[in-house]
Structure formats: structure tokens, C-alpha cells
Amino acid sequence: MALSLGASKTGKAPASQGIAHRLDIQCARGCPADTETPVRPAAIPPPDLRDRHHLDAITLRIATCADLEEALPSVLRELLDMLNGCPESGTAHSATGELCVVHRAPGQATNTVISPAGIALSAAARQRLQEVVRDIGRDPGARQQASGIAGTPGGVLIALTDAADRGETGRGATGDDWLWLGEPAAPAPSRETPLAHAVIDALSRGLALQQQQARHAEDRQAAVAQALKNERRQLAAELHDTLAQELSYLQMQSARLTRAAHHAPQEVQALAEEVHTQARRTFRQTRELINGAHATWGDAPLACVLEALIEEFETRSSMVFELDNRIQSLHLPDAQSLQVMFIAREAMTNSVRHARATHLRLQLLYQSSGPQPAARVLLTIEDNGCGFDPAEIPAAHFGLGIMQDRARHLGAEFAITQPRQGGTRVTLSWERRDT
């Protein structure tokens, strides 16, 4: 496979004269692959009006698609049919053997080869294209010749992304897209470069707009997430300055009431103790809400969140805590990590306060069924305490209901069971969405 690799002087695509002329160079017989042929300026007539309308519609489809790798194959098939000529139209366009886009989304380190629907490049050809694009990405203005796989026609590789966007290393904040137009195996009588030029322009504009829309969507999501975080922190500050202060005072006064009622009738003692218990519990829950509103883990994996939670409980309890982490790296957004942390904290709090347990184990692993790849994440919290029947929990104790609500918010499955050996097991399972 002989590839002619090129970008315009500025790195923009299409290079209106250089690229179109190279398409003719590749078809010229007797022209060595490594010969640099001078570019002859020529007037390029516009493509057929119907083709222009079709290409504008294709540009819009690319620009507005949600998933480029899902939408682009059918678009590329239409473009390939246009270049090879539609039988219904009776017009002969420039013949092209193969066509594909080598795509790298913003933030990704590897390129993906996207072929037209119904056409698949060989694994060797795809790998070769990825290697060449990776190499040329380091020097956006480079022109080079590469030889490759026997039995595959040659072609031209064209930059669809501005060199300034790719950056010096080819790993800029934006994506990186290249179009490969392969020669047909049999000689073509002619090539109509104006249509090829228009196809390249439609692809270039569509991909640039799609990347722009994707960046704007990410910016909006980040802005919403930051606004929610700021709102949580503002609410936490208000809770700290108002409700938490009042509850702290109420907790101290209820403790005094309990001591003062020491010689009172049994009914009054029980009532005072209940008031003090509820005051302490409400104050603790308010403090947890305030701490949770300020919690942020950035790019830390979920295992680090659980480790921090264990360290917190180790300072408050004599129980032995164990973390069995079987996932190397699982990153969740702050909002999801916060929900998982609250569920785990409530389960651990119940074990410390009510289970009379001496050991608590957290296990994090991928859950799979049979030979299929792991599709879910499973978090298990299990103690060796006395256990309990969820059906017998009084309505006033709403911790279990809150955990269930948080699990529904996560789209997770939540369950409380009693192992045969005793104790309590809390399981939280959700769909694996990490990369």
C-alpha cells in the first residue's frame, strides 16, 4: 500500500489545490511514489448543485450527531457512493477504492479507524493507518511517503483538522481527524477532483462543528456541576451557621436535662434520655451533611474514597475495618462518589451503633455473569454482628429508606441480607460505566 501523506501549508483541510492534484497524481501511471510533482494551479469548477445540497445535509448530520463512531459509517458510505458515481444518476464521478476516517476524540490518546457501513478494512491496514497518523501527528506540516501492506491499493491521507488545533505533539485539546482516500484496484478512466474537494470540505466542516458542539456540551455540564457544588457549599455554610449551632446547644442542654432527671420518676428519665439521644443523632446527621457538601475527590478512584471513610470510622470505633479492593482504578464523578459514600457511611454507622460487631469488611469488585465481560460494579459491606430483620425497623428510623433512595438516584440495585454465618450484608450494584 502506497500512502501519499500530506497537509496544506497551514494545516487546514481541504488544501484546495494540493490535495485535489494529489488525487490525480496517484492515478498517473509511471509516476514514482516518492516523486514530488509540482502543483499546477487550476480552476476548479463547483460540483453539481444536487451534490452540494447533499453534502450540506451531510455536514449538518455530522455536526449534530451525538455519537460520531455510530453515525459516521453510514455517512462515509454515502460519500463513497458519491465519489464512485451513483448508478441512478448516470454520471461518472472520480473512482475511489476505499475511504475511511482516522478519528481521535478530544482527550483520547489513540486513534480509531471508522470505515463506511458494509465495508471493513483489514486489521493490518487499520493498524498501519493508525501508526502513520500517530507519526505524522507529531509534525502537522509533514509530507512523507510510506509503503505498507501488499494487495491493498494506494491512496492519499488528508488532514481534516487544523494543525494549530492538533498542537505540536498531535495531542491537542481538540480532536484529530484524517481522511484516507484509497485508489481503486483497477485503473479509473478519470477523476473529477471538484467533487472530491467538496467531499473533503463537507467532512472537515462537519467534524469541526461536531467537536465544537461536544466541547460546548462538556463546558455546560462542567458549569452545571460547578454550580451545584457551589450551591451545596453555600447551603452547608448556612446549615453550619444556623441549624448546626442551634442543635449543638440543644445537645448540651438535653445532656443537662438527662442529668437533672436522674432522681425523677422513671418515665421522666426515659423521656429525657430519648430527647438527648435524638438531639445527638440530629446533630451528627447535620454535621455529616455539612462534611458531605464540602467533599470532593477530583480524579481520585472510588477505592480512595472508601479508604478515607474507613480512616474516619477507625478514629471513632474499636472495630476492625477491612477493605478488599479488586478494582485497580474506578473513577466516578463527585456526585456519584458522594452517593456511594453516603450509603457506605450509613451502613457502617449502623454496624458500629447497633450490630455489636467486631469486624466489618468492604469489598469492591467487578461483577460478571459467566464468560461475559464484567458489566457491573459490586460494593459489599458485611459485618459479623447480631444481624437484624429490615421488616422490624421502626418507621422513625429512616436511614434504610434514605439508602434506598440514594441507590435509586444512582440507578443501582440495593439489598440487605443476612449471611448464613450471621451478621448483616449490604450490597450495592450498578452498571459499569468507567473507561
CATH number at residue 397: 3.30.565.10
User: Within this chain, do residues 429 and 281 fall inside the same structural domain, yes or no?
Assistant: no
Q: What share of the chain is helix, strand, coil (3-state, %, to 5)?
A: 50, 15, 35
| Statement: residue 93 has pLDDT above 60 | no
User: Strand, coil or helix: what is 97?
Assistant: coil
Instruction: Name 3's bridge partners.
Output: 146, 155
My answer on whether 281 and 189 are in the same domain is: no
How confident is the model over 66-91, as pLDDT tens digits?
A: 888 888 999 988 888 887 764 443 34
Is residue 336 domain-shared with residue 433, that is, in the same domain?
yes
Residues 128 and 11 placed together within one structural domain of the fold = yes
Does residue 294 or residue 227 have the better pLDDT? 227
Residue 235 in domain: no
Asked if 205 and 285 sit in the same domain, the reply is: no
What pairing do the DSSP bridges indicate for beta strands 359-367 and 376-383?
antiparallel
Percent of the chain with pLDDT over 90: 15
Report pLDDT digits (tens) over 412-422.
999 999 888 88
Task: Name the nearest CA neighbour of 386 among 341, 335, 348, 424.
Answer: 424
pLDDT at site 299 = 59
In this structure, the answer to whether residues 186 and 316 fall within a common structural domain is no
DSSP per residue, 346-399: HHHHHHHHHS--SEEEEEEEEE--TTSPP-EEEEEEEE-S----GGGS-TT--H
**Hunting for cell 494529489 — which residue is that?**
22
Q: What is the 3-state secondary structure (H, E, C) of 272-311?
A: HHHHHHHHHHHHHHHHHHHHHHHCCCCCCCHHHHHHHHHH
Domain end among 250, 269, 294 = 294
- Please give the Cα distance from 133 to 140 (Å, whole number): 10
Domain count of the fold of the chain: 3
Spell out the SS3 assignment of 169-192: CCCCCCCEEEEEEECCCCCCCCCC
Element (H, E) at 402: helix 399-410
Residue 57: CB atoms within 10 Å: 13
Could you tell me if 278 and 318 lie in one domain?
Answer: no
**Mean pLDDT in residue range 362-367:** 91
**pLDDT per residue over 133-180, tens digit each?**
877 766 655 444 343 444 444 667 777 876 555 544 444 456 788 888
Last residue of a domain, one of 259, 294, 329: 294
CATH of the domain at 32: 3.30.450.40
Domain range for 327 is: 297-435
* Number of other CB atoms surrounding residue 110 within 10 Å: 8
| 349 and 366 both lie in a single domain | yes
Q: Which residues contact 162 (CB under 8 A, 6 or more apart)?
A: 10, 11, 12, 13, 208
Within a domain: 225? no
